[in-house]
Amino acid sequence: MEQIRNVAELLEEKFDQYNCLKFIETDPISVPHRYKTKEDREIAGFLAATIAWGQRKSIVQSAQKLMLLMDDAPYDFVMNFREKDLKRFEGFVHRTFNYTDITVFLYSLKNIFQTHGDIEKVFANGIKMGGMDHAIAHFRNVFFEVPHPLRTRKHVSNPLQGSSAKRINMFLRWMIRKDGRGVDFGIWESIRPDQLICPLDVHSGRVARRLGLLKRKQDDWKAATELTENLRLFDPNDPVKYDFALFGLGVFEKF
């Protein structure tokens, strides 16, 4: 009991420390924070989260470049671009995400907004099929309704095949969590914060295991759900708020 109490206190302390406006400055979430409308934030957030691997500075720079290539108006660009407008993306690359991928993503996003309402509605329909794993898998199926090369599918994770889907879970945290702190947007009403799964990567996994919150060795979907279930012990209504604590301890403090 004493150990659990100590872990709870540490998580709350670090959540409070890192869930603040200063956190935004160097984080990929700074990219959707450039915008005010729900649609712009959805698109900017999804694209920023998609390329969120590697150095954070590089991620933010690449995501900002994408926004500028979209005339700093992502929703308007997605809804109105023509094939000739895609030529401007020919030199874009972030790690393995390149021109081929961004063009598919733009057509996919256009299809979602024109055919399915918006990104939130796709996830909301998917979560009716089961948990967040089914919601993400449903989104992935809808996303790839448009013609696409096989190589692009790797950029949208599938938890039903075991992936931790870290970047999608991070994007969902941005859209769904509501706490008035000014970091996460909380602009989706159809999915509750307690339905979220904690983003899991090598840093948060290492911290979680050191704190006794995770026993599974692989950083996969089963591990992400195990971690989330243990975080529910400390806040059943908003377990994923502790992503701030795990991230801060792992990346900033090398815990």
Element (H, E) at 97: strand 97-98
What pLDDT was estimated at residue 254? 81
What pLDDT was estimated at residue 2? 67
For residue 49, the number of C-alpha atoms closer than 13 Å in the C-beta half-sphere is 23
Q: Are 199 and 39 in contact (CB under 8 A)?
A: no
* Residue 71, CA distances (Å) to 61, 85, 86 in order: 15, 11, 12
Number of CB atoms found within 10 A of residue 193's CB: 20
What pLDDT was estimated at residue 5? 83
Tens-place pLDDT, residues 95-139: 999 999 999 999 999 999 999 999 999 999 999 999 999 999 999
Residues 6+ apart with CB under 8 A from 247: 18, 199, 203, 204
Number of CB atoms found within 10 A of residue 22's CB: 10
Separation CA 149–CA 229 (nearest Å): 36
Domain that holds residue 56: 2-252
What pLDDT was estimated at residue 3? 73
What pLDDT was estimated at residue 255? 82
At 93 the three-state DSSP class reads strand
Residues of the chain with pLDDT under 70: 1-2
Tens-place pLDDT, residues 160-171: 999 999 999 999
What pLDDT was estimated at residue 4? 75
Element (H, E) at 168: helix 166-176
Element (H, E) at 241: none
- In the chain the first and final C-alpha atoms are separated, in Å, by 22
Q: Give the chain's domain count.
A: 1
Separation CA 166–CA 221 (nearest Å): 9
